[in-house]
Structure 1
Amino acid sequence: MDRRTLLRAGVAGGAAAFSGSLWAGAALADPAQPGESPYGPLQSADALGIQLPVGFASRVVARSRQSVTGTAYTWHDAPDGGACFAAGAGWIYVSNSEITPGGGASAIRFDADGSIASAYQILSGTRQNCAGGATPWETWLSCEEVRRGYVYETYPQGGATAIRRDAMGRFKHEAAACDPDRQVIYLTEDESDGCLYRFRPMTWGDLSAGTLEVLVAGTATSGPVAWAPVPDPDGWPRYTRDQVSGAKRFNGGEGCWYADGTCWFTTKGDNRVWAYDAVNERIDLAYDDSLVSGTAPLTGVDNITGTPGGDLYVAEDGGNMEINIITPDEVVAPFLRITGQSWSEICGPAFSPDGTRFYFSSQRGTSGWSSGGITYEVRGPFR
Structure 2
Amino acid sequence: MNRRTFLRATAVAGGTTAFAGALWQQAFAGPAQPGPGPYGPLLAADGNGVQLPAGFTSRIVARSLQRVEGTRHTWHAAPDGGACYRDGDGWIYVSNSEVPLVGGASAVRFDATGKIISAYRILNGTTLNCAGGATPWNTWLSCEEHDYGLVYETDPYGQKSAKSRPAMGRFKHEAAASDPVRKVVYLTEDQGNGCFYRFRPTTWGDLSSGTLEVLIGTGVGAVSWARVPNPEIWLTPTRDQVAGAMRFDGGEGCHYAGGVCYFTTKGDNRVWAYDAVNERLDLAYDDDLVTGGAAPLRGVDNITSAASGDLYIAEDGDNMEINLITPDDVVTPFLRILGHDKSEITGPAFSPDGTRLYFSSQRGKSGFAAGTDGYTFEVTGPFRR
For residue 28 of structure 1, give the secondary structure of its aligned residue in structure 2.
helix
Corresponding position of 1:4? none
Report the 3-state secondary structure (helix = DSSP H, G, I; strand = E; otherwise coil) of the residue aligned with 1:24: helix
Give the counterpart letter for 1:24 in structure 2: Q
Mapped to 2, the partners of 1:257 and 1:213 lie a distance apart of 18
Q: How many residue pairs are counted as aligned between the two chains? A: 373
Question: In structure 1, how many angstroms separate the alpha carbons of the residues matched to 2:24 and 2:304?
Answer: 17
| Counterpart for residue 351 of structure 2 | 352
Match for residue 303 of structure 1? 302
The one-letter amino acid of 2:310's match is D
Q: Confirm or deny: 8 A CA contact 2:148 2:172 kept in the other structure.
A: yes
| 8 A Cα contact 1:20 1:309, kept in partner | no
Q: Distance in 2 between matches of 1:76 and 1:24?
A: 40
Counterpart of 1:371 in 2: which secondary structure? coil
| TM-score normalised by L of structure 1 | 0.95
Where does residue 204 of structure 2 map in the other structure?
A: 204
Return the alpha-carbon distance in structure 2 between the equivalents of residues 276 and 72 of structure 1. 43
- Give the whole-Å Cα distance in 1 for the aligned partners of 2:253 and 2:270: 11
Q: Which amino acid aligns with 2:320?
A: M
Q: 1:271 is matched with which residue: 269, 272, 291?
A: 269
Correspondence list, 1:105-116, <5 A = 105-116=105-116
Listed as ranges, the matches of 1:24-35 within 5 Å are 24=25, 28-35=28-35
Alignment match, 1:38 = 38
Deviations 1:157-190 (A, max 9, x none): 1111000001000000000000000000000000
Change (3 A) 1:356 1:243: same
2:136 corresponds to: 136
Percent of aligned pairs with the same amino acid: 68
Which residue in 1 is equivalent to 2:250?
252
Segments of structure 2 that go 5 or more residues without pairing to the other structure are none
Asked whether the equivalents of residues 21 and 262 of structure 1 are also in contact (C-alpha less than 8 Å), the reply is no
What CA distance in whole angstroms lies between the structure 2 residues aligned with 1:340 and 1:198? 38
Structure 2 counterpart of 1:300, one-letter code: G
Q: Residue deviations 1:58-117, cap 9 Å, x none? A: 000000000000000000000000000000100000000000021100000000000001
In 1, the alpha carbon distance for the partners of 2:54 and 2:23 equals: 30
How much has 1:231 moved relative to structure 2?
0.2
Partner of 2:164: 164
Amino acid at match of 1:256: C
Given that residues 171 and 235 in structure 1 are in contact (C-alpha distance below 8 angstroms), is that contact kept between their aligned partners in structure 2? no
- The structural deviation recorded for 1:15 is 3.0
Equivalent-residue separation in structure 2 for 1:266 and 1:235 (angstroms): 27
Q: Output the CA distance in 1 between the equivalents of 2:231 and 2:372.
A: 34
After the TM superposition, which residues 59-208 of structure 1 pair with which residues of structure 2 at under 5 Å, given as runs? 59-208=59-208
Report the CA distance between 1:290 and its aligned residue: 1.1
- Equivalents in 2 of 1:242, 1:361: separation in Å? 34
Gaps of 5+ in 1: 1-7
* CA displacement 1:9-33 (0-9 Å, x = unmatched): 75722337988525238x6222000
**CA contact under 8 A between 1:19 and 1:328: conserved in structure 2?**
no
Deviations 1:21-48 (A, max 9, x none): 25238x6222000000000000000011
Secondary structure of the structure 2 residue equivalent to 1:210 = strand
Aligned to 2:6: 12
Cross-structure match for 1:372: 373
C-alpha contact 1:19 1:329 (8 A) present in aligned 2: no
3-state secondary structure, aligned to 1:340: coil
| Structure 1 counterpart SS, 2:314 | strand
TM-superposed CA distance for 1:361, in Å, is 0.1
What letter matches 2:11 in structure 1? Answer: A
Does the aligned pair in 2 maintain the 1:152–1:164 contact within 8 Å?
A: yes
Structure 2 counterpart of 1:301, one-letter code: V
Distance 2:86 2:329 in 1: 30
Query: What SS is found at the alignment partner of 1:372?
Result: coil
Task: Report the Cα distance in structure 1 between the residues aligned to 2:5 and 2:215, rounded to whole angstroms.
Answer: 20
Deviates more, 1:177-186 or 1:301-310: 301-310
Is this contact kept in 1: 2:228–2:242, CA < 8 A?
yes
Q: Is the 8 A contact 1:96 1:105 kept in 2?
A: yes
